[in-house]
Amino acid sequence: MCRERRSAAPNERERERERERERERESSLSPLRLKADRSSRQLLGATQSLGRGRNPAEMSQSGSQETVEASDGNSSQRTLPSPPIGNRVTVVLGAQWGDEGKGKVVDLLAQDADMVCRCQGGNNAGHTVVVDSVEYDFHLLPSGIINPKVTAFIGNGVVIHLPGLFEEAEKNKGKGKGDVCPLSPSSAVFDFHQAVDGVQEQQRQEQAGKNLGTTKKGIGPVYSAKAARSGLRICDLLADFTQFSERSVPCNSGKNVDKVLIEEQCCDGFLTTENNIGYVKIHNTATLRILFENGNHYLGTYPFVTSSNCTVGGVCTGLGMPPQNVGEVYGVVKAYTTRVGIGAFPSEQSNEIGELLQNRGKEIGVTTGRKRRCGWLDLVLIKYAHMINGFTALALTKLDILDVFSEIKVGLAYKVDGEIIPHFPANQEVLQRVEVQYETLPGWKSDTSAARSFAELPENAQQYVRFVEEHVGVPVKWIGVGKSRESMIQLF
């Protein structure tokens, strides 16, 4: 017993010396740093107590541990199982200023999908897909509905103009066989919102001499109403119609809404009013293959931007999908760059090169009919989009449009006031002043539209693809050399 007391004494003295050193160290820290230091050590201690004797991989697979104190005062460890992750969904995003060919990539992937979902935007977006020489134009409907086996969901992040949706559904009814389900929390766009959108554009032009170049589809006003908590949703329309009609009168200029007509069109076999089944299917069936399609492109220069979340985060907020369920994120990149409307465009070619790109690429907006501005591929933009969204692979589209050029330029960096800047500038005025630093690559001057494998492409076209991969740091999985589904070359 005496030996035990003697051996314990040095341990106690050592602990006291450690406590004294800790007090001295803490006295030298500022209050803010002391608080941060203590929080950090508490977190470290908690992590060590949870993971003691186990590696991170084991913890992620079997769950975490907590200490449970029994009624007799003894404590024991129990394992809390980690919740199942569920579906790993695939996401398709436009990596430039739009019109990259997202619809074609979605159509390709939808052939093996069970569900295709739109999660943001409205009918301001436009996608064109060609299958078996039949051209499809989509604005609200997901492009993947061409696959007769898929169910298409329109998420709560989408704003829906019902007359436009019904018209588009009827137009494509004989072409696509899939069902469409607009989820009930989606916000409704009325003709009133579109009228306000047009008036606001006119006022901007009169007051500042510059408008935003909106599509006048009411997208900005309806998202504003949603943020102000004064908007109406599809679930309001399908619930107590008396309350809905009372709320909708001031927003709809006194026009009556025919609920019977709406329900008839919704239940016509193409659309369904049983909205909540979408969430049940998406979250409770681990074996389903789910494809997410963003309606709009990622890039914009404020204030010349759309009003919804166009990043991979829009998948989470626009359809209630947890971040851990996001799997592959495919960025769609056109082999050159285009932009519709107003806003800075560093690599724009306002010359015969831009005109040639416009004519060969038939660069006219699906929604507005406006000609698109054209320029060289700008990898500063692509790297910025990758930084935000974390692309796992790229789809490089419309490579065949470059077939006629003997030399092709690619933007690699920006200079402002003679200095290279290491980032994509957020300020519109700064972006308008940048000087693009190009690298000139040799063209291939031969037709690529018949190529169906990477090996069949000309050597210089292959080098162009590899150049993009090396500078962005993301592999190219598909190369588009034409309009049809068959013209998408898959590399891996």
Q: What is the mean pLDDT of each run of 10 residues along the chain (492 residues)?
A: 49 75 58 47 43 41 50 60 75 92 89 88 77 78 81 86 83 64 75 83 73 79 86 75 54 43 47 54 73 82 82 89 91 95 91 96 79 96 95 97 98 95 88 96 97 98 98 97 92 94
The three-state secondary structure class of 118 is: strand
Helix axes 459-472, 379-389, angle to 10 degrees: 50
Residue 365 structure tokens: 């907006």
First to last CA, the chain: 73
C-alpha atoms less than 13 angstroms from C-alpha of 271 in its C-beta half-sphere: 25
Catalytic residues: 99, 127, 226
Specify the pLDDT at position 322.
87
Q: Any binding-site annotation on 122?
A: no
Structural element, H or E, at residue 480: strand 476-480
Specify the pLDDT at position 260.
47
CATH of the domain at 397: 3.90.170.10
Q: Any binding-site annotation on 369?
A: yes
Whole-prediction pTM: 0.75
Q: Any binding-site annotation on 101?
A: yes
Specify the pLDDT at position 242.
63
Specify the pLDDT at position 4.
45
In angstroms, the CA 479 to CA 97 distance is: 19
Q: Is residue 195, in this structure, part of any structural domain at all?
A: no
CA distance to 127, 197, 337, 376, per residue, from 105 (Å): 11, 31, 18, 22
In angstroms, the CA 262 to CA 256 distance is: 12
Specify the pLDDT at position 467.
98
Specify the pLDDT at position 58.
43
Q: Is residue 58, in this structure, part of any structural domain at all?
A: no
Q: Is residue 34, in this structure, part of any structural domain at all?
A: no
Specify the pLDDT at position 271.
47
Q: Is residue 267, in this structure, part of any structural domain at all?
A: yes
Specify the pLDDT at position 44.
43
- DSSP string covering 24-53, please? HHHHTS-HHHHHHHHHHHHHHHHHHHHHTT
Amino acid at residue number 244: F
Q: Tokens 């969430």 belong to which residue?
A: 279
What domain range includes position 375?
Answer: 89-190+215-490
In angstroms, the CA 261 to CA 410 distance is: 53
The three-state secondary structure class of 189 is: coil
Going by C-alpha positions, the residue among 362, 350, 346, 440 that lies closest to residue 400 is: 362
- Give the chain's domain count: 1
Q: Any binding-site annotation on 368?
A: yes
Q: Any binding-site annotation on 247?
A: no
Q: Tokens 């040095």 belong to which residue?
A: 10
Going by C-alpha positions, the residue among 467, 469, 450, 446 that lies closest to residue 458 is: 446
In angstroms, the CA 141 to CA 271 distance is: 11
Specify the pLDDT at position 391.
96
The three-state secondary structure class of 277 is: helix
Q: Is residue 452, in this structure, part of any structural domain at all?
A: yes
